A and B are shown apart, each in its own frame.
Chain A
Amino acid sequence: MSTYKIEVIIRNKKVARDPEGETIYKELIGRSSYASEIKGIRSGKWLLFEVEADSLETALKDVEKLCKDLRIFNPVVHEMEVRPYQGGSA
Chain B
Amino acid sequence: MGVLKFPGTNGDEDVAHVVRLFGMESQIVWYKEFKQKDWDAIVLAGGFSYADRLRAGAIAAATKAMDEVLEAAEEGKPVLGICNGFQMLVEKGLMGEAALLHNENNRFICKWVKLKVTDVKTPWTLAYEEGEEVDMPIAHAEGRFYASEKPNRIAFQYVENPNGSLWDVAGVVSPKYENVVGMMPHPERASEEVLAPPGRGPGGKKVWESLRTALKSGW
Residues of A within 8 A of B (CB): 12, 16-17, 19-20, 22-23, 70-72, 74, 76-77
Contact = CB atoms under 8 A, between A and B. Distances in A.
Interface residues of B, number: 19
B99 A19 contact: no
A17 B166 CA distance: 12
B152 interface: no
Nearest to A47: B54
Contacts of A77: 99, 101, 146
A74 B95 CA distance: 13
Interface in B41-74: 54-55, 58, 61-62
Contacts of B105: 19
Contacts of B54: 72
B99 A23 contact: no
5 contacts: A17-B164, A19-B101, A19-B103, A20-B102, A76-B146
B98 interface: yes
A12 to B, nearest CB: 7
Contacts of B103: 19
A19 B106 contact: yes
Contacts of A76: 97-99, 146-148
Contacts, number: 35
B62 A16 contact: no
B217 to A, nearest CB: 37
A32 to B, nearest CB: 18
A19 B62 CA distance: 26
Contacts of A71: 58, 61-62, 91
Contacts of A70: 62
B104 interface: yes
Interface in B105-123: 105-106
Contacts of B102: 19-20
Closest CB pairs A-B (n = 5): A19-B106, A77-B99, A23-B106, A19-B102, A76-B97
Contacts of A17: 101, 104, 164
B146 A19 contact: no
A20 B148 contact: no
Nearest to B58: A71
A34 B55 CA distance: 32
Given A71-B91, A74-B99, A77-B99, A19 B104 contact: yes
